[in-house]
Amino acid sequence: MNDDRDRAVNGCERRVKKNQFVSKLQSRVMECKDYSEGSFEHKNHKQHSTIWLFHNAVIRIREVENELRVEIKRDYLELFGLEKEATFRESDASWGRLPSGNHTINRILDNIEMVFEQCYLDTTVELFGCCSRYLECSDNKGCVHPDRRFAQGCMYKSNLEEGRIFYGVNRNVP
């Protein structure tokens, strides 16, 4: 009888651990300046849960024998600082399995904002020539638009980054 109760309690603790981890991830992401509704998603599947950032699958979480097993998409392992700890299966080489424990969980929590920002910057944007701030950008020798994602689509920004300034007091292209 006690074994059944222990299993039930341990099962609840596992779910709480997973739910606490997901909640901590979400609260850290919500503090990011580029956070918006839908930029963080937690989807449950039969054998695991997936954390999606800007429609990019980043983290998979499995509950196995009273502990969390975490896998990180290969593209993000280095940003989390976990590339050396990851092991890969032949059947699914795009996800790195990580050792269980607080070290892994803490490393993920410590770096989730950076990974979130990278996912934000990696999203596709519409290209355009320049915006209404082109003179201010020229005078500052770089993009001054406050929305980094929008600014990614600016073709004039790439000219400025290469030192080609077409307007303003710093003009150097005839």
Give pLDDT, residue 34: 81
pLDDT of 26 > 70? The answer is yes
Give start-end residues of each CATH 3.90.1150 domain in the chain: 2-122
Structure tokens at 153: 């689509």
Indicate the pLDDT class of residue 16, thresholds 50, 70 and 90. Answer: low
Indicate the pLDDT class of residue 4, thresholds 50, 70 and 90. Answer: very low
Structure tokens at 47: 């054998």
pLDDT of 9 > 50? The answer is no
pLDDT in tens, 51-65: 999 999 999 999 888
Give pLDDT, residue 111: 96
Give pLDDT, residue 8: 44
Query: Is residue 7 packed enough to be buried (19+ CB in 10 Å), middle (13-18) or exposed (0-12)?
Result: exposed
User: Whole-structure pTM over 0.85, yes or no?
Assistant: no
Fold classified for 2-122: Aspartate Aminotransferase, domain 1 (3.90.1150)
pLDDT of 37 > 50? The answer is yes
Instruction: Write the DSSP assignment of 58-103 as a string of letters.
Output: EEEEEEETTEEEEEEEGGGHHHHT-TTT-EEETTEEEEEE---SHH
Structure tokens at 166: 């077409």
Taking the C-alpha atoms of residue 69 and residue 100, their distance in angstroms, rounded to an integer, is: 6
For the segment 150-174, the average pLDDT, to the nearest whole number, is 92
CB 54 within 8 A of CB 123: yes
pLDDT of 13 > 80? The answer is no
Which residue would you say has higher pLDDT here, 146 or 135?
135
pLDDT of 3 > 50? The answer is no
pLDDT in tens, 55-110: 999 999 998 887 889 999 999 999 999 999 999 999 889 999 999 888 899 999 99
